Amino acid sequence: MAPLHVAVIGCGLIGGSLGMALRMLPGCGRYVVHAFDREAGRAGEAVQMGAADVAAASIREAVAGADLVVAAVPAEEVAGTVREASSHAPPSAVLTDVASIKGPIVEALAGKTPGGQAFVGGHPMAGSERAGLVAADPFLFQNAVYVLTPVASSPPAAVQRVREMAEAAGAQVVTLSPEEHDAAVAAASHLPHVAAVGLVLAAEACARDGVPVLQLAATGFRDVTRLAMGHEDVWKPILMMNRARLVEALRAFRDALDRIERAVATGDGEAVQSLLQRARALRQAFRLPAKGYGRPIWDLVVRLADRPGAIASVAGALAEEGLNIADIEILRVREGEAGTLRVGFVSEAAMLQAVQVLRRRGLQAWPR
């Protein structure tokens, strides 16, 4: 099969991860990645780190022979970057992006590129609070949902070319209209980001009043505020470009907080209980994918001795039974004594079988 030339503009977390995936994952030998970044030397670093085959000195150079152009730049830079790429790319190229907001970008570009090429909006639902090439990971998109937002005028062959790239990177493609996408990410991604920022600012205000917040901030605070470490250069344009939808989502959040506040302030224990119960049941019913997974994962936990080879013995026992580990995490370690490992499987049956396998080996294991 003839190689496909992909120009990745913007060699940060997402552009770098995509370049690595297309070059490194099995079955991806088809893609030749040409990289450009506006920071001098960054495209060269991308080549050194395995995220690109060729470093280009300009957008013009990067897209000269491109079959596919991916704008992996902050959302407010996408339209300008795509227009510049379009005016230098071959007429047969397909242009796409990875930005976290779609409506304004698709409206500006679909059917309106200067070179007449198709633009198909894209957004991988995978990322990190870390920015830059240093945080890039070839497995970032593995099993992640990758939204494409074609419009009526999008040629099916162009959509297919972007779909194949996303699937080659390991993702599962979901097609939505730009409006559906923006409404969904307002609640599922942009609001959680803003909520994390709000929690950190609230903790700072309490700390200023003399409350020893950070001394007691443990895994709970860490887990719900991780997103607040995301970079403002990436997040400011996302929030600004999805303003109306975000304001709606914030209103719903504020209503929920008001209900909780009223119940707490009036000492209405029954109302507090019912709100907590409802949220717990809803959250459990969501069965969200584990980080990096587009589908739910069934977890077990296993207690381990803190000694060399302890994890290998769990992995080995599972491998002998043909049980594939989909996700793994060390939850806690008491140095020199013991630790707890979380192991994820793609089906409940595999997880339950794994519990039995580990118990037969004398290990303490149970479904999580």
Ligand X SMILES: O=C(O)C(=O)C[C@]1(C(=O)O)C=C[C@@H](O)C=C1
Q: Which two tokens stand for residue 113?
A: 């590129």
Please compute, for residue 317, the number of CA atoms within 13 A of its CA located in the half-sphere on the CB side. Answer: 19
Contacts (CB under 6 A) with ligand NAD, residues 294-313? none
Q: Which two tokens stand for residue 9?
A: 């503009």
Nearest-approach distance from CB 227 to ligand X, in angstroms: 6
Site string for ligand NAD, 108-137 (x = CB under 6 A): ---------------xx--xx--xx-----
**Judged by CB under 6 A, which stretch of 23-31, 113-121, 124-132, 262-270 contacts ligand X?**
124-132
Q: Which is nearer to ligand X, 165 or 300 (CB)?
A: 165
Q: Which is nearer to ligand NAD, 125 or 302 (CB)?
A: 125
**Judged by CB under 6 A, which stretch of 11-19, 102-110, 171-179, 202-210 contacts ligand NAD?**
11-19
Nearest-approach distance from CB 238 to ligand NAD, in angstroms: 5
Q: Which is nearer to ligand X, 161 or 181 (CB)?
A: 181
Q: 241: buried, middle or exposed (CB in 10 Å: 19+, 13-18, 0-12)?
A: buried
Choose among ligand NAD, ligand X, none what residue 42 binds, the Cβ cut-off being 5 to 8 Å by kind. Answer: ligand NAD
Alpha-carbon span 163 to 277, nearest angstrom? 40
Burial 18-48 (b: 16+ CB within 10 A, else e): bbbbbbebeebeebbbbbbbeeeebbebbbe
Nearest-approach distance from CB 15 to ligand NAD, in angstroms: 6
* Bridge partners, 327 (sequence order): 344
Indicate which single residue of 86, 96, 100, 143 sits in contact with ligand NAD (rule: CB under 6 A): 100
Site string for ligand X, 83-122 (x = CB under 6 A): -----------------x----------------------
Indicate which single residue of 43, 52, 62, 81 sits in contact with ligand NAD (rule: CB under 6 A): 81
Contacts (CB under 6 A) with ligand X, residues 224-253? 227, 230
Phi, psi of 246 (to 5 degrees): -65, -40
Alpha-carbon span 325 to 346, nearest angstrom? 8
- Binding residue count for ligand NAD, defined by CB under 6 A: 30
Q: Which two tokens stand for residue 135?
A: 């945080």
Rule CB under 6 A: is residue 81 a binding residue for ligand X?
no
Quick check: helix, strand or coil at residue 163?
A: helix
The one-character DSSP state at 289 is B
Nearest-approach distance from CB 12 to ligand NAD, in angstroms: 2
Rule CB under 6 A: is residue 189 a binding residue for ligand X?
yes
Rule CB under 6 A: is residue 128 a binding residue for ligand X?
yes
DSSP, residue by residue, 17-56: HHHHHHHHSTT-TTEEEEEE-SSTTHHHHHHHTTS-SEE-
Q: Which is nearer to ligand NAD, 239 or 297 (CB)?
A: 239
Q: Which is nearer to ligand NAD, 64 or 352 (CB)?
A: 64
Contacts (CB under 6 A) with ligand NAD, residues 40-79? 42, 72-75, 77
Site string for ligand NAD, 215-254 (x = CB under 6 A): ----------------x-xx---x----------------
**Judged by CB under 6 A, which stretch of 32-40, 102-110, 127-135, 252-260 contacts ligand X?**
127-135
The neighbour count for residue 356, using CB atoms within 10 Å, is 10
Nearest CA to 88 among 146, 163, 9, 197?
Answer: 9
Alpha-carbon span 368 to 345, nearest angstrom? 11
Q: Could you tell me where the beta strands, DSSP code E, fall in 154-281?
A: 172-175
Provide the sign of the torsion angle of the four alpha carbons 151, 154, 160, 162, taken in this order.
negative
* Bridge partners, 175 (sequence order): 148
Is the separation of the CB atoms in 14 and 124 below 8 Å?
yes
Residues near ligand X (CB under 6 A): 100, 125-129, 189, 227, 230
Residues near ligand NAD (CB under 6 A): 9-15, 37-39, 42, 72-75, 77, 81, 98-100, 123-124, 127-128, 131-132, 231, 233-234, 238
